[in-house]
Amino acid sequence: MTSHETTRRAPPFGPGLALLGVALISINLRPGATSVGPLLAEVRAALEIGPTLAGVVTALPGFAFAVAGGGAVALARRVGVSAGIALGVAAVVVTLLARVLTDSSGVFLVLTAVGLAGMGLGNVLVPAWIKAHSTDGGVRLMTIYSMGLTVGGTLGPMLAAPVAAVAPGQWRGALGMWGLVALLALVPWVVIALRDRVHRRAAGETPTSRIWHSPTAIALTVLFGVQSTNAYVQFGWLPQIYRDAGLSAATAGLLTSVLAALGIFGGLLMPTVIARSRDLSAWMIGFGTLAVAGYLGLLLAPATVPWLWAVLLGLSGFAFPTAIALIAARTHNPHVTAQLSGFVQPVGYLLAGIGPFAVGLLHELTGGWTVVLLLLMTTGVGITLAGLRVARPVLVDDEIGVSSPTP
């Protein structure tokens, strides 16, 4: 590894372009996935997609994020982190626009998978890019990134039906709209990739296998995986849990939106909390306790104070922006940040892909939600135990013996 690859220098673009690039890409890493659910019935009818393929569509985000995330670091080694992000955004633009033009269910699925893979590249590489291009440890840009992920994830399902009602092509216009929005993110990232020569190989050459030697990396993977599973299960099944308890579809959707919207505040708050706190133990215990309480409420009295259970689970979901921010906060060398991100996120999203399937299967086998909710309560224990291991500022770099970059 040459000296210029480990030295942090001022990037060849201003902070305004960096802020714009991070803000736009973060908003575009979720809507292409989350906007499909509310329009799935219309997509199925138009493309003649059966129940099995519909299940594949709903599971694709987690699995595509996992597969693409696993190869993100290798791609960044070859083309650079900035170029890797730009390629991911380009894939999102092309596939989200192209998939609404087809009448083939197979082509729709393939294009969706490629677009999700582009998002998966961004999931892994953006935290590493922020670490390499920040002078404040990445606090400001990670705050923007965490908030943008939540905002984008919330806007996708929120705007799907209203836009489909007025857009040309109805569902096609509503889904294709996000390809045009992603085009706004592509422009700054092409500029950044062309100008960025210093960090062309910021993924580094530290062997990925060495991350396994870090207890902090393992614990962070568990934390990210458990919370990602919770999030996908909640977005996929919480409306049905509420409806089975007697609430209307509109109320169930509103409560799920409340849960999702709380994540915006988590993205705004937690990067700063991490930067200013020596010990996050109280937060980790709180996240786990809130998860247990929220699921227990859904089990015992889902329709009595349903908004309370949504709020408790939404506050517990602050664990997600915490885990994202810790990828940068628990590393110093940008190379290690990339390796850690490429280790933590694929495993987490793989679990997130399996979780909704497992919940659906258990619900079908047991005929109710009792067993499901009892098992989901145990995720609160997992969040706390894994969270306590990453609560103190121990650097993964130190655990795997990687030196810090020279200033």
Do residue 195 and residue 219 come from a single domain?
no
- Predicted local distance difference test score (pLDDT) of residue 11: 59
Among candidate residues 170, 205, 240, the one where a domain is terminated: 205
Together in a domain, 270 and 364: yes
Same domain? For 250 and 216 the reply is yes
List pLDDT tens digits, range 54-75.
777 877 888 899 899 889 988 9
Q: Are residue 162 and residue 87 in the same domain, yes or no?
A: yes
Please report whether residue 189 resides in a domain: yes
The CATH number assigned to the domain holding 345 equals 1.20.1250.20
Residue 368 and residue 306: Cα distance in Å, rounded?
18
Specify whether 195 is located in the same domain as 268: no
Distance CA 231, CA 30 (A): 13
Question: pLDDT class for 4, splitting at 50, 70, 90?
Answer: very low
Three-state SS sequence of the chain = CCHHHHCCCCCCCCHHHHHHHHHHHHHCCCHHHHCCHHHHHHHHHHHCCCHHHHHHHHHHHHHHHHHHHHHHHHHHHHHCHHHHHHHHHHHHHHHHHHHHHCCCHHHHHHHHHHHHHHHHHHHHHHHHHHHHCCCCCCHHHHHHHHHHHHHHHHHHHHHHHHHHHHCCCCHHHHHHHHHHHHHHHHHHHHHHHHHCCCCCCCCCCCCHHHHHHCHHHHHHHHHHHHHHHHHHHHHHHHHHHHHHCCCCHHHHHHHHHHHHHHHHHHHHHHHHHHHHCCCCHHHHHHHHHHHHHHHHHHHHCCCCCHHHHHHHHHHHCCHHHHHHHHHHHCCCCHHHHHHHHHHHHHHHHHHHHHHHHHHHHHHHHHCCCHHHHHHHHHHHHHHHHHHHHCCCCCCHHHHHCCCCCCC
Residues 52 and 197 in one domain: yes
Give yes or no: residues 179 and 319 share one domain. Answer: no
Kindly state whether residue 10 falls inside one of the protein's structural domains. yes
What torsion do the CA atoms of 286, 287, 293, 298 make, to the nearest 10 degrees? 160
Share of the chain above pLDDT 70, in %: 92
Q: Does residue 311 sit in the same domain as residue 347?
A: yes
- Letter for the amino acid at 369? W
Q: Which residue has the higher pLDDT, 158 or 24?
A: 24
Domain end (from 188, 205, 222): 205
For the chain, the domain total comes to: 2
- Given a cut of 50, whether residue 7 has pLDDT beyond it is no
Q: Has residue 264 got a pLDDT over 50?
A: yes
Torsion angle of C-alpha atoms 385, 30, 260, 52, degrees rounded to 10: -90
Distance (Å, rounded) from C-alpha 104 to C-alpha 15? Answer: 44
Is the same domain home to 244 and 367? yes
pLDDT given at position 160: 85
A 10 A CB-CB count for 135 gives 9
Domain contains 405: no
The residue assigned the tokens 């996992």 is 66
What is the pLDDT at residue 190? 95
pLDDT > 60? residue 201 = no
* Cβ partners under 8 Å of residue 191, min gap 6: 13, 17
| CA dist., res. 322 & res. 267, Å (int) | 8
Q: Do 193 and 255 sit in the same domain of this protein?
A: no
Quick check: is 228 in a domain?
yes
What pLDDT band is residue 5 in, cutting at 50, 70 and 90? Answer: very low
The contacts of residue 27 (CB under 8 Å, 6+ apart) are 148, 149, 151, 152, 155, 181, 185
The single residue listed with the structure tokens 């409560």 is 255
Is residue 406 assigned to a domain? Answer: no
- The span from the CA of 30 to the CA of 153, in Å, is 5
pLDDT attached to residue 404: 58
Spatial distance between the Cα atoms of 83 and 97, rounded to a whole number of angstroms = 21
Neighbouring CB atoms inside 10 A of 187's CB total: 14
Is residue 329 included in any domain, yes or no? yes
Range in 137-146, 275-284, 373-382 the model is least confident about: 137-146
Task: Kindly state whether residue 170 falls inside one of the protein's structural domains.
Answer: yes
Same domain, 215 and 199: no
For residues 165 and 39, the answer to whether their CB atoms sit within 8 Å is no
Residue 325 lies in domain? 210-400
Is residue 149 a part of any domain in this protein? yes
| Final residue of a structural domain among 156, 173, 205 | 205
pLDDT tens by residue, 294-310? 999 999 999 999 999 99
What's the rounded Cα separation, in Å, for the pair 239 and 242? 5
Q: Which two tokens stand for residue 128?
A: 């590493």
Q: Phi then psi for 205, rounded to 5 degrees?
A: -125, 15
Residue 23: the pLDDT is: 96
Domain match, 197 and 214 both: no
